[in-house]
Homo-oligomer: A and B are copies of this chain.
Amino acid sequence: MPRLDESAKGVFLITVTPFREDGALDLDSTDRVTDFYLENGATGLTVLGVMGEAPKLTADESREYVKRVLARVNGRVPVVVGASSPGFAAMGELAKGVMDLGAAGVMVGPAATVKTDDQAVSYYEMVAETLGPSTPFCVQDHPLAYAGVQLSVPVLTRIFKAIPTAVMLKHEDWPGPGLSKLAALRAASGRGEMRRVSILCGNGGGLFLPEELSRGADGAMTGFSYPEMMRDVVAAHAAGDVERAHDLFDAYLPLARYEQQAALGLAVRKYLLLKRGAIATAAIRKPGPKLSAADVADIDRLIARQERRLQELG
């Protein structure tokens, strides 16, 4: 079982959790969408995130789902498990459980109570102590999802300097200082103020990927239903063909933007994954959004336009 470390890069897909129409976990679709992600460019998976409907799963279901994903992945790529929790006890229990099952690490966002720099650093020190020395973790920097808590560059520098098991940053400080913060973190590493950790980005849900790569991101961590977009943009960028990276990105941008609507996004994503054959139903557990006929018409139009554009690009 590979452990997550500072060298992680590429495309970590934030997975959906498939359900059947009756609301039960759909484990067949779990296999299928896992394959889909890996076949379309994922170099890692992130499961039980907010977009994975984690809070709607019982503890048993979470375990069953993670076990199934890990079995299907079978060591091909690292799997990171969302372990944010209002309490350290629950965080520790969940983390221990999934690491025993073969996860590569966990991901933890800050508690809503964090208001000052010292509180932020202390919080992550407690996280590290809770997880123990053999569970590497990813710091999730995502104020919109975490009560507006902002992890500043000095705070992140202190965290990555002090905590050896903090090996990765999921950078999604948006709307906010996304790109300049990323640049500042890389500069801090360059000056030796902190280790160079893995930084995977998702500012705006991936809407800044080409620019993030230019600023030193190691790749993307987001859940867009076309993983090949991230794969191909990362590849073109790595090959030095920045214009090609933008061409590809621009082709997907109208649909990617549509999938990033906060309230409706998960329904858009599951609809697209259903259309692409990756899951058997677009069912979302309550409480969850539903697409209107107008939404579906929008999406179908955007798919058609995207396909045309990709054909033009060759």
B-binding residues in A (CB < 8 A): 54-59, 61, 85-90, 92-93, 112, 115-119, 122, 126, 144, 147-150, 152, 154-155, 174-180, 183, 204, 207-208, 211, 214-215, 242-243, 246, 249-250, 253-254, 257-258, 260-264, 286-287, 292, 294-295, 298, 301, 305
Q: Are A292 and B88 within 8 A (Cβ)?
A: no
Within the complex, the shortest CB–CB distance from A132 to chain B, in Å, comes to: 15
Chain B residues in 8 Å Cβ range of A58: 89-90, 92-93
Residues of B within 8 A of A59 (CB): 59, 90, 93
Residues of B within 8 A of A116 (CB): 117, 150, 152, 154-155
A24 to B290, CA, bound (A): 46
Bound CA–CA A258/B208 (angstroms): 8
Please report whether the interface of chain A is mostly helix, strand, loop or mixed according to DSSP.
helix
Could you tell me if B254 and A180 are in contact, using CB atoms closer than 8 angstroms? no
Check B254–A250 contact: CB distance below 8 A: yes
Instruction: Please name 10 pairs of A and B residues whose Cβ atoms are closer than 8 Å in the assembled complex, sorted by A.
Output: A55-B85, A112-B112, A117-B117, A118-B152, A118-B154, A179-B264, A179-B295, A211-B258, A215-B294, A253-B254
Determine whether the beta carbon of B89 is less than 8 Å from that of A180: no
**A211 in contact with B176 (CB, 8 Å):** no
Residues of B within 8 A of A246 (CB): 254, 301, 305
Chain B's nearest CB lies how many Å from the CB of A144? 7
